């Protein structure tokens, strides 16, 4: 590895760094005024499906906030779409699926072939973005975990409990595993193509892992994320973000992933202990804390940095940035990290 390796990739590989890199989950949307202008002009999937728009949105936070990595503008729900499920993005509501997956015939009807063709617009956006990004800023590609994708496909919308998705799994585990296998298969194909198109690292969002018990997590989520990680880890660094699943930190630290996302319910100390310091950790400021007064935000950010330490660490929030977060506070958070050294 030469010295030109970007900071973000150095940290993911566990190489020594002068300061931790920083990026922010959901940095490419939600709070930047320029993004809101585009949002009012083009509907959500038009923004995802037009490589010029996806590239422009991906670059916005890099130019305006100065983060150390970019994440391609897209959504985890392009996978159900590619399988033949119609997903709408409703204003002030979120994802909506009129005909969710509930029966065996629904699962059998899902098509996992031709991802190259069906999600061609994502791969074109990745290629275009790579051309425009400065060389020292890596591009992150992503997908939802099979469990999190199942949650939306079966529930048909967002939910606090994903009760319909959970009872689907508990009433007919065989069918649930058939669906999870199908999602896993297409996700691996999709991420391989994203890597071929040029992403430098991949993050798996298991945003709804935390609705499962520890035992059920090991049945319905962990094995499928492990399968994706096994298929891809030799190609590019993989970051796994299992929200609300501190119980899985130890298992994830042993499967050869490069990074592990930590939410704010778990302390840095506990996460380091559970992972045996085997893996780069990423996180974990509560996104709501970006609404705190600036002095307090600086103090909390420094505390987070001191607790995780400089090495094997990527500074981030513990979940996606919230709509209406003041842009100035995002800059304060990022600048505090960039000027940090804990010696």
30 lines the binding site for ligand CP3 (CB under 6 A): yes
Q: How far is the CB of 139 from ligand CP3 (least distance, A)?
A: 11
Q: How far apart are CA 291 and CA 280, in angstroms?
A: 27
Stretch that binds ligand CP3, among 74-82, 112-120, 162-170, 264-272 (CB under 6 A): 74-82
Q: Which residue, 77 or 262, has its beta carbon nearer to ligand CP3?
A: 77
Q: Which residue, 96 or 307, has its beta carbon nearer to ligand CP3?
A: 96
Q: How far is the CB of 71 from ligand CP3 (least distance, A)?
A: 5
- Strand duo 87-90 + 94-97: pairing: antiparallel
Stretch that binds ligand CP3, among 75-83, 178-186, 226-234, 290-298 (CB under 6 A): 75-83
Stretch that binds ligand CP3, among 71-79, 102-110, 276-284, 327-335 (CB under 6 A): 71-79
Q: How far apart are CA 276 and CA 74, in angstroms?
A: 34
137 lines the binding site for ligand CP3 (CB under 6 A): no
29 lines the binding site for ligand CP3 (CB under 6 A): yes
Tokens of 268: 């840095």
Find the binder of ligand CP3 among 11, 28, 143, 176 (CB under 6 A).
Answer: 28
Give the x/- contact pattern for ligand CP3 in 79-118, rule: CB under 6 A: ----------x----xx-----------------------
Tell which residue, 273, 285, 271, 272, has the closest CA to residue 321.
285
Tokens of 70: 């970019």
Q: How far apart are CA 215 and CA 170, in angstroms?
A: 12
Q: Which residue, 268 or 317, has its beta carbon nearer to ligand CP3?
A: 317
Q: Where are the alpha helices (DSSP H) in 146-293?
A: 146-155, 163-171, 173-197, 214-220, 222-232, 249-252, 268-274
Please report, as residue ranges, which positions from 149 to 208 form the binding site for ligand CP3 (by CB under 6 A).
158, 205, 207
Tokens of 185: 């298969």
Size of interface with ligand CP3, in residues (CB under 6 A) = 21
CA angle centred on 235, ends 232 and 239, rounded to 5°:
60
39 lines the binding site for ligand CP3 (CB under 6 A): yes
Residues with Cβ < 8 Å from 296, sequence gap 6 or more? none
Answer yes or no: are the C-beta atoms of 87 and 99 closer than 8 Å.
no
Q: How far apart are CA 29 and CA 109, in angstroms?
A: 33
Q: How far apart are CA 126 and CA 141, in angstroms?
A: 8
Q: Which residues pair with 140 in a beta bridge?
A: 71, 201
Find the binder of ligand CP3 among 69, 77, 199, 201 (CB under 6 A).
Answer: 77
Binding site for ligand CP3 (CB under 6 A): 26-30, 39, 44, 71, 73-77, 89, 94-95, 142, 158, 205, 207, 320
């Amino acid at each position: 590895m030469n010295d030109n390796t970007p900071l973000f990739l150095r940290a993911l590989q566990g190489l020594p760094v002068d300061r931790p890199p920083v990026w922010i989950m959901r940095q490419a949307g939600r709070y930047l005024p320029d993004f809101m202008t585009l949002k009012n002009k083009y509907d959500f999937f038009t923004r995802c499906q037009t490589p010029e728009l996806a590239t422009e949105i991906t670059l916005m936070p890099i130019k305006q906030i100065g983060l150390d990595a970019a994440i391609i503008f897209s959504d985890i729900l392009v996978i159900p779409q590619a399988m033949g499920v119609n997903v709408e993005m409703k204003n002030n509501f979120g994802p909506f699926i009129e005909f969710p997956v509930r029966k065996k015939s629904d699962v059998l009807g899902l098509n996992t072939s031709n991802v190259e063709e069906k999600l061609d617009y994502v791969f074109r956006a990745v290629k275009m973005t790579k051309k425009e990004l400065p060389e020292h800023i890596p591009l992150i590609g992503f997908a939802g975990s099979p469990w999190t994708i199942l949650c939306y496909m079966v529930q048909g919308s967002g939910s606090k409990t994903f009760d319909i998705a959970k009872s689907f799994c508990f009433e007919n585990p065989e069918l649930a595993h058939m669906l999870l296998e199908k999602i896993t298969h297409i996700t691996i194909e999709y991420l391989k193509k994203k890597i071929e198109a040029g992403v430098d690292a991949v993050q798996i969002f298991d945003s709804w892992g935390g609705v499962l018990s520890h035992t059920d997590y090991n049945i319905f989520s962990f094995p499928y994320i492990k399968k994706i990680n096994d298929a891809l880890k030799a190609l590019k660094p993989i970051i796994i973000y299992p929200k609300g699943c501190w119980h899985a930190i130890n298992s994830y630290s042993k499967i050869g992933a490069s990074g592990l996302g930590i939410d704010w319910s778990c302390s840095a100390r506990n996460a380091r202990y559970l992972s045996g310091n085997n893996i780069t950790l990423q996180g974990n400021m509560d996104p709501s804390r970006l609404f705190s007064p600036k002095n307090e935000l600086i103090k909390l950010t420094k505390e987070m940095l001191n607790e995780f330490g400089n090495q094997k660490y990527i500074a981030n929030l513990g979940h996606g940035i919230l709509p209406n977060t003041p842009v100035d506070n995002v800059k304060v958070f990022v600048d505090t990290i960039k000027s940090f050294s804990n010696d």
